[in-house]
Amino acid sequence: MAQHHDTTRPTALADRDDAVPSYMTDERLMIQQAARDFAMKEVLPTANRLDPQNGEIPMALRDKMAELGLFGILIPQEYGGLGLGCFEYCLVAEELSRGWMSVASIMARGNGAGNGFTPEQKRKYLPRMASGEYLGAFALSEPNAGSDVANLSCRARRDGEHWVINGSKMWCTFADGADYLTVMARTDPDVDPKARHKGISAFHIPKERGTLPPGVQGTPVNKIGYRGWKTFELAFDNCRVPADALIGEEGNAFYTVMGKLEVARAHTAARAIGLARGALEDAIRYAHERVQFGKPIGEFQAIRFKIADMATEIEAARQLMYHVCTEIDSGRRCDKESSMVKLLASEMAERVTSEALQIHGGAGYTTDFAVERYWRDARLTKIFEGTSEIQKRIISDRLLGAAKS
Ligand SMILES: Cc1cc2nc3c(=O)[nH]c(=O)nc-3n(C[C@H](O)[C@H](O)[C@H](O)COP(=O)(O)OP(=O)(O)OC[C@H]3O[C@@H](n4cnc5c(N)ncnc54)[C@H](O)[C@@H]3O)c2cc1C
């Protein structure tokens, strides 16, 4: 069996020539095509080569992403970004994820990071983020604060002209490779237990790429997917940062972060859709090539109907994503809908990638075909950026009112 079949050739799906819907403006089609070309020519071959050996996203690939402006899609033009919307951002994310989800994720380490900045912090950091030279890692989750993020206990104390941070963080992806950490810590421990989301602040901690800040130790987590970068457990032991590391207003970071979640959830949906599309395209190719009982397996109705179901599910999730992106870009509240699309797309991606693996038979259960990567990575989309259960909680709370217990 050849090491990684050539999955980079376009299929009928990649070359969709269906009538173009009106929301796909010329500019959007151009952005989508540029991202697709980059994903198929550069990202996918890199993923096929490096993911099986647990290699890291190469600097050269990041440089090309920077040249394309991908780290500044959402950053206003006055700060050197492209000043585009969530729609364009998610179009690109789907394409990148079709190649390698981690690359679609690293894009967010420039784009989303400016929230809560003062005007001075924006002038200082956003242009460098937009150019891709200044990418971040986000330390919110803790060993005892996952879904229940308001339970975080990492503590920041004011000491003269400094803040001193102590405590543990879990799951900090890219902590080593990033140029700065955004750390959420409790600055007011005496808040009412019923209002635990108050008294939490965010800190911007610049650092040298490839290292951790003084006072921080990191241990990599052994993940089953989401390769291309490392995810860390971090221990903060008297990590001292200057007073101006505080992002925005003291004690209000929970709201700042929550305000950014709609975009993050649409982006996660886009990543899930990209993975599912990659798996579908590979399954179609394999269904044409693999012969059993004297004919390509794509002749069997069992396989044909799987393909039909997979394509239908992907398109349904994509259309909801387009709707959510349009709502976000119009400035309308859509926390319920962004939870819906995150839930729908990630559950869909797990099913579709699993069916694609099934269509590959035993070959799907090897590392010779990319479909196992799509399957492993799709599994994560149901967990991060809020689990499926948490999305259902948000949706049902909006429909029924918050549950009493
Ligand atoms: C590979 C990877 C990378 C990550 N990267 C980052 C990162 O860069 N930065 C960061 O801050 N975090 C990161 N995370 C953390 C991620 O956001 C959390 O894993 C996620 O929020 C879930 O938290 P948890 O793992 O503690 O699960 P838990 O909260 O312990 O959940 C366990 C189970 O209980 C369920 N559950 C919990 N509460 C409820 C409830 N109220 N109702 C119903 N069911 C419930 C959950 O849905 C889940 O099924 C990453 C995680 C992974 C796996």
- CATH topology for 26-130 is Butyryl-Coa Dehydrogenase, subunit A; domain 1 (1.10.540)
223 Cβ closer than 6 Å to some ligand 1 atom: yes
Q: How far apart are CA 322 and CA 312, in angstroms?
A: 15
> In the prediction, which pLDDT does 248 show?
86
> In the prediction, which pLDDT does 55 show?
97
Q: Which atom from ligand 1 is nearest to the alpha carbon of 143?
A: 26
350 is catalytic: no
> In the prediction, which pLDDT does 256 show?
78
Give the CATH class of 136-251: mainly beta
- CATH topology for 257-400 is Butyryl-CoA Dehydrogenase, subunit A; domain 3 (1.20.140)
Report the candidate in 65, 32, 30 with the shortest Cα–Cα distance to residue 46. Answer: 65
| pTM score, whole prediction | 0.95
Q: Tell me: the pLDDT tens digits for 31-77?
A: 999 999 999 999 999 999 999 999 999 999 999 999 999 999 999 99
14 Cβ closer than 6 Å to some ligand 1 atom: no
Domain ranges of the chain: 26-130, 136-251, 257-400
> In the prediction, which pLDDT does 2 show?
45
> In the prediction, which pLDDT does 116 show?
80
Q: What is the dihedral of CA 106, 111, 112, 117, to 10 degrees?
A: 130
> In the prediction, which pLDDT does 254 show?
86
Which mutation among 384, 385, 392, 404 tests ligand 1's pocket best, with the greatest number of atoms within 8 A of CB? Answer: 384
The CA-CA-CA angle for residues 375, 376, 382, to 5°, reads 90
Q: Which residues of the chain have pLDDT under 70?
A: 1-18, 112-114, 405
138 Cβ closer than 6 Å to some ligand 1 atom: yes
Report the candidate in 100, 90, 105, 102 with the shortest Cα–Cα distance to residue 40. Answer: 100
Contacts of 150 (CB under 8 A, 6+ apart): 196, 197, 200, 254
Report the candidate in 64, 63, 62, 88 with the shortest Cα–Cα distance to residue 75. Answer: 88
